[in-house]
Structure 1
Amino acid sequence: MIRTLSLLTLITFALFSCSPEEKGNVSIEGKIDNAPNQTQIYLFHVSQSTQAVDTADFNEDGTFKMIYDVDKPGYYRLGFNKANNYASLILQPNDKITVNGTSGNLEGYAQVKGSKDAEDLQEMLQLQMSYYTKADSLKRAMQYAQQNKDPNSYREALGVLQNSRSQMMESMKTFIKNHKGSIANLAAIEQLRPNQNFELYKQVRDDLSEKMEGVYIYDRFAQRVEGIEKTSVGSKAPELAFPNPEGETVKLSSLRGEYVLIDFWASWCKPCRAENPNVVRMYNKYKDKGFEIYGVSLDKKRNAWLQAIQQDNIEWVQVSDLKGWQSEAAGIYSVSSIPATFLLNPEGEIIAKNLRGRELENKLQEIFES
């Protein structure tokens, strides 16, 4: 189950305010139409401890102005005390930004001017919005076709949706290449899978290292890239040591000498559960020939984890720190979607990644039956 981790979704609502006259090096002003019930607009800083950092009162005509002090480049949101009603911004010291838009329709549609990076971000968001608008329409068509038992129309809409998704990803690649060094690329790269676009991931990291090092969102991204490098094919698999259902710590290295499949999954992940019967079959077929599995659950609820183990007839090693997506194991292996797998040789080196279904079966057959 894909869990895409976006840089623009980290936000809380601990609100702080200051007067527009407060000293600062960044000014944000503009006009928001159709906001009759809103008396203030908020500036949220997207960071590890995300919070609202400033407010401004609306004038009667919907105009506003705030002055805020920025010491490092960063991602911000300008909007109301409601989710999904904001304009995404990139702010840097001494920026003078203007934001004009309509209440309730800010994300991707607000007009943002004043700095190249801020304008780059709006360009990227507009590309995304074009895809999302089309995708929503196609998903409704698929739902309608399914309800009316029209498989031909369903397949047609699905094909168009998949093609649109491919076009959007290509547009993100082009955007990144055409905006080398732009802070907006930190948001654009999140639309691309690292396994297929790792060279581009490294390019974004390297292009922004001088400008953004020490900024939370960049440092987190750079750590993710470093983690992917450490778990690339040919690398020594990083050690894992987590508790099993009995509370005993089991080390990955305890399985050294066997071919080991590290399997990241969760009880709530439908694709994971659908794949489990195939993994059970492969395990039973090759466990006596030197094949082991080290299952890592991203569950938070112990009972759900244990119930899924029983329901799916899982007999191999299972561990979890029950931290969900905050799992330390997922961080070590830079896992951002599940199911995710890493196949290790007896020396503990990664020889393949994300094998499932027929691909996993073929690889194990190659190892144990050739």
Structure 2
Amino acid sequence: MKKKILAVCSLMLIIGFALISCTSNDDRRQSTIKGRFGAMAGQKIVLQQLTINNMIKVDSVIASTDGSFSFDFQAEETGFYMLHFTDGSFITLIINPDDKLEITSDAAPGSMQYQISGNEDSQLLQNYFVKTAERETVFDSLREVFFNSTHLENFYAVKLNVDSVLRQLVEDQYSFTKNFILNNSGSFASLLLINHRFANQPIFDREQDFDIYCFIDSVLMKKYPDNSHVLEHHNRVSEIKERLTDQRVIEESLSAGRPVPDIILNDADGVSFRLSDLKGRAVLVYFWVSWSPLCRAANHQLKDIYNDYRDSGFEIYAVSLDHQARYWKDAVRLDGLTWINVSDLNGISSPVVTLFNIPQDLPYYYFCNEEGAIVAKGKKFGEIKKAIAEYFKH
């Protein structure tokens, strides 16, 4: 009798373990990617996951003779993944736990001409990258025109025209990306796009576009409160907010009527110039860089102002935020800048950037009176020009 009872108990335990095992397997959140790229037949395809700090290889397969492939893997949370191909191209995907993605194309992956289903955010990313690729093609073509024109007599005119179109492309990409984020509220793709780059530059400025960062944070924290990518963005928003608070304190100390901070920097010959030594003259503290078309244009505009007022006690103290001495010196020579030109060649890492609360967009100006008090400041040349003209009327 006891043997029968033991046998029944053993059988029940085996069945129990089997049920637990089945339940555990059913609870595993399995995601799949099935696809076919006719151009990648017999080629290796690698699936990688983009984590907060690095890229992790998930799996790799060899596409069949018709270019078919499949991946089965566990996605513990919504995240970013990349399919890498042997021709160097890749496709960025957003995958949720339990997603079943299908992606097909007869063209090469780099052409972006593929059909995808199973995740709406991945479809949104494709649409965004297709439009962005079109602008990048135009941008690269214009850069080629620029470099092929350096030997021409009318190079400066060509440069101005090319710079104008390039600026418009950057502005168009900014507006396109911003509207894409706002019009697709709650899309996980926003986390990728807010950090995206165009023409080797970030599309968004963390401080000037802080409202967009906050918008993404407020929406996604409600939808994905425990997601590592969303939490990382949330922490970044908190850091930016704290930094902006500190900057507001600095900004108050740099308001009109307050004394301009004193700095001492060297010119191209190593001679030191202290800003406070210029008391007794009205001074324009001018922050610029040699590689910026806007700054180079400002150089020529400032020459007229300098010639108009220097005999009336006006001086320009131009602080270059360049890293390379050669480019800075060449720009000073080519543009014929005869005022005080100084730099520590530390770029945006220079202490003067924090001291004067200088934004990333240059040029930037501080106009000070004879006593060294701030009269006007900002990045708009027209407003600074008007402030200088009004000052010398009196």
State TM-score, norm by structure 1: 0.59
1:174-209 deviation digits (Å, cap 9, x = unpaired): 433321132323455567666996644542344345
8 Å CA contact retained: 2:318, 2:340: no
Aligned partner of residue 41 in structure 1, secondary structure: strand
In structure 2, what is the equivalent of residue 180 of structure 1? 185
In structure 1, what is the equivalent of residue 126 of structure 2? 122
2:365 is aligned with 1:365: no
From 96, 106, 112, the equivalent of 2:110 is: 106
CA distance in 2 between counterparts of 1:225 and 1:120 reads 29
Q: Which runs of 5+ in 1 are unaligned?
A: 1-22, 148-157
Deviation at 1:341, TM superposition (A): 2.0
Aligned partner of residue 300 in structure 2, secondary structure: helix
CA distance in 1 between counterparts of 2:240 and 2:121 reads 23
CA distance in 2 between counterparts of 1:75 and 1:252 reads 50
CA distance in 2 between counterparts of 1:350 and 1:94 reads 61
Q: 1:268 to 1:163 in 2, by over 3 A?
A: closer
8 Å CA contact retained: 2:316, 2:340: no
Q: Which runs of 5+ in 2 are unaligned?
A: 1-27, 153-162, 255-260
Q: 1:112 to 1:168 in 2, by over 3 A?
A: same
Task: Tell me the percent identity.
Answer: 19
2:216 is aligned with 1:204: yes
Aligned-partner residue type, residue 361 of structure 1:
K
CA distance in 1 between counterparts of 2:313 and 2:174 reads 42
Aligned pairs for 1:24-43 (under 5 A) are: 27-36=32-41, 38-43=43-48
In structure 1, what is the equivalent of residue 300 of structure 2? 277
What RMSD over aligned residues (CA atoms) do the two structures have, in Å? 5.7
CA distance in 2 between counterparts of 1:352 and 1:123 reads 41
2:372 is aligned with 1:341: no
Aligned-partner residue type, residue 45 of structure 2:
Q
Q: 1:289 to 1:180 in 2, by over 3 A?
A: farther
**Greater helix percent: which structure?**
2
Aligned partner of residue 182 in structure 1, secondary structure: coil
CA distance in 1 between counterparts of 2:78 and 2:278 reads 45
Deviation at 1:38, TM superposition (A): 3.4
Larger radius of gyration: 2
2:326 is aligned with 1:303: yes
In structure 2, what is the equivalent of residue 319 of structure 1? 344
CA distance in 2 between counterparts of 1:225 and 1:327 reads 22
Aligned-partner residue type, residue 215 of structure 2:
Q
Q: 1:39 to 1:76 in 2, by over 3 A?
A: closer
Deviation at 1:87, TM superposition (A): 1.5
8 Å CA contact retained: 2:217, 2:230: no
CA distance in 1 between counterparts of 2:42 and 2:387 reads 61
Q: Which moved more, 1:122-131 or 1:172-181?
A: 122-131
In structure 2, what is the equivalent of residue 88 of structure 1? 92
From 380, 384, 393, the equivalent of 1:355 is: 380
1:240-296 deviation digits (Å, cap 9, x = unpaired): 98975688999999999976545241x344443343233354456369757654524
CA distance in 1 between counterparts of 2:331 and 2:98 reads 54
2:254 is aligned with 1:235: no
In structure 1, what is the equivalent of residue 258 of structure 2? none
8 Å CA contact retained: 1:233, 1:352: no
8 Å CA contact retained: 1:244, 1:250: yes
8 Å CA contact retained: 2:47, 2:58: yes
Between the two structures, name the one with larger relative contact order (CA 8 Å, sep ≥ 6).
1
Q: 1:104 to 1:353 in 2, by over 3 A?
A: farther
Deviation at 1:34, TM superposition (A): 0.4
8 Å CA contact retained: 1:29, 1:99: yes
Aligned partner of residue 175 in structure 1, secondary structure: helix
